[in-house]
């Protein structure tokens, strides 16, 4: 078996990112030997950089490998479109490289140095959907310089990516808040490793294990932390799971949000950004309803000292519980790949792009407004399944696709806003403003939350209501009629 120093690394792209990573590999002398650059630029082909030859074009790289089993490919073309990455990946796979890596987080590379430690194995999400928007991350994060930033749900898909990108923001402190010790441990360890590898500024990283539903604790901890900016990502998100556990969805996503919002106001937080979802639009499930109410809690909040806003977007590729890791598992185990309906579609963007736009919106947004990320055109889930089957080197005859029917609370199609709403394009690419669009008045919201609290929390004389799922759904249905009460809903 070859050691890392026996690895021959072929860097695809002889531009700034490729040269920077090559220099880092040579300096560290640990990852392997940079054998060559491979590029399509005819003016570069045949020349060299630091005695490393530049070969090409990329389409001919299969003929360059005498022993592909000790060769790795590292794609370092941060401006490459999704279509170009697909083309390059197909070429590299046919060339039988033992490993194909990529420099992710395009915005980070455009605005700063590329680092070898940021590279990772290429993933289907890199080749699906549209080409991510390119934003100068350092410029977008200038409002966070010298600030204390708290991310709830920091171990989740969006929360952890926000943390990675915030390393470049010049924040004084990053508070990683979550109730899962393993996920917070993991992102804390990763961020410290990235910092050691030269990524970002030297923010102090502080992991915090805590529970949003503990109101007294939230007031206590925010007073002590003195956070300037909060990105509220924490939520229970799995639609079928929340249909089975609706009380917990309401407690966490609604009352947890209210606790952190009220505590943030009490602690005079400057900026608060709630991460919301397209499932809050005419919701058919408890999860969607919980996020719709959470939006109103933020939009209705009265905070004279800061800007509290909502950023809403659709699915992100590769998030935990999403179709990408599920399909991967099904494909690698021989199938079948299971879909709910042949026409099902969803809006998708990559996790890094969503995080970049959230950070951008958090800096330019005005309090009391709801912002929507432009997700482009929705993608058919069936086509994603087919593309992923091809990504892993199979044909559709090798991996069957089966349709299992719609699950509770799911829709065939999602929308980012209703027909009655009229989002306005802001001056910032891919960010639209829906304005002050709380669906409840202050009085309605207060009444609704009071009803829900009698069901979610013990009060001594509410034995018939406490944790009564039927009464919960009836209450939600009175205020949000699109969420129905199933005929087979159990009482508890």
For the annotated catalytic residues, the residue numbers are: 279
Structure tokens at 16: 């700034």
Query: Which residues face 192 on adjacent strands?
Result: none
Beta-carbon count within 10 A of 474 CB: 14
Quick check: 263 and 226 in contact, CB under 8 A? no
Calculate the dihedral angle through the C-alpha atoms of 91, 95, 97, 100, rounding to the nearest 10 degrees. Answer: 0
Nearest-CA neighbor of 60 among 83, 42, 78, 81?
Answer: 42
Instruction: Classify 464 as helix, strand or coil.
Output: coil
Q: CA-CA distance, 364 to 106, in Å (whole number)?
A: 21
Q: Given the DSSP bridges, would you call strands 48-49 and 120-121 parallel, antiparallel or unpaired?
A: unpaired
Side-by-side strand order, sheet with 33-38: 48-49, 52-55, 33-38, 8-12, 71-75, 99-102, 120-121
Q: Given the DSSP bridges, would you call strands 379-380 and 345-346 parallel, antiparallel or unpaired?
A: antiparallel
Half-sphere exposure of 266 (CA within 13 A, CB side): 17
3-state secondary structure 267-306: CCCCEEEEEEEHHHCCCCCHHHHHHHHHHHHHHCCCCCCC
Half-sphere exposure of 14 (CA within 13 A, CB side): 25
Q: CA-CA distance, 59 to 61, in Å (whole number)?
A: 6
């Amino acid at each position: 078996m070859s050691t890392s120093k026996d690895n021959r690394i072929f860097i695809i792209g002889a531009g700034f990112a490729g040269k920077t990573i090559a220099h880092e590999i040579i300096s560290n002398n640990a990852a392997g030997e940079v054998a060559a650059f491979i590029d399509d630029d005819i003016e570069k082909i045949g020349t060299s950089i630091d005695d490393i030859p530049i070969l090409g074009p990329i389409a001919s790289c299969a003929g360059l490998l005498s022993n592909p089993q000790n060769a790795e490919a590292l794609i370092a073309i941060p401006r490459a479109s999704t279509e170009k990455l697909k083309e390059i990946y197909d070429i590299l796979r046919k060339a039988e490289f033992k490993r194909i890596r990529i420099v992710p987080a395009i915005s980070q590379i455009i605005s700063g140095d590329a680092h070898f430690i940021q590279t990772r194995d290429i993933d289907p999400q890199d080749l699906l959907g549209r080409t991510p928007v390119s934003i100068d991350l350092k410029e977008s994060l200038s409002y966070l310089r010298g600030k204390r930033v708290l991310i709830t749900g920091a171990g989740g898909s969006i929360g952890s990516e926000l943390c990675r990108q915030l390393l470049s923001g010049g924040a004084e402190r990053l508070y990683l808040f979550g109730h899962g010790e393993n996920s917070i441990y993991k992102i804390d360890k990763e961020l410290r490793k990235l910092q050691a590898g030269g990524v970002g500024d030297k923010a102090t990283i502080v992991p915090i294990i805590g529970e949003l539903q503990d109101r007294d604790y939230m007031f206590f901890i925010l007073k002590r932390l003195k956070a300037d900016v909060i990105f509220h990502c924490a939520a229970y998100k799995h639609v079928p799971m929340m249909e089975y556990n609706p009380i917990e969805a309401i407690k966490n996503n609604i009352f947890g949000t209210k606790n952190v919002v009220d505590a943030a106001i009490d602690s005079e937080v400057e900026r608060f950004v709630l991460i919301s979802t397209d499932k809050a639009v005419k919701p058919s499930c408890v999860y969607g309803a919980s996020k719709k109410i959470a939006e109103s809690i933020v939009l209705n909040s009265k905070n004279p000292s800061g800007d509290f806003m909502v950023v809403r977007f659709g699915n992100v590729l590769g998030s935990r519980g999403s179709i990408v890791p599920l399909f991967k598992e099904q494909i690698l185990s021989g199938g079948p790949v299971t879909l709910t309906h042949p026409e099902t579609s969803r809006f998708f963007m990559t996790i890094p792009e969503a995080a970049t736009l959230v950070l951008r919106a958090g800096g330019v947004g005005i309090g009391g407004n709801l912002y929507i990320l432009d997700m482009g055109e929705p993608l058919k889930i069936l086509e994603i399944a087919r593309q992923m089957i091809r990504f892993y080197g199979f044909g559709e005859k090798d991996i069957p696709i089966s349709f299992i029917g719609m699950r509770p609370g799911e829709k065939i199609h999602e929308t980012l806003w209703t027909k009655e709403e009229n989002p306005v394009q802001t001056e910032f690419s891919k960010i639209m403003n829906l304005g002050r669009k709380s669906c409840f008045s202050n009085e309605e919201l207060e009444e609704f939350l009071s009803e829900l609290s009698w069901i979610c929390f013990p009060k001594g004389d509410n034995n018939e209501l406490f944790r009564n799922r039927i009464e919960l759904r009836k209450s939600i249905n009175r205020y949000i009629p699109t969420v129905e009460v199933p005929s087979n809903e159990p009482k508890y």
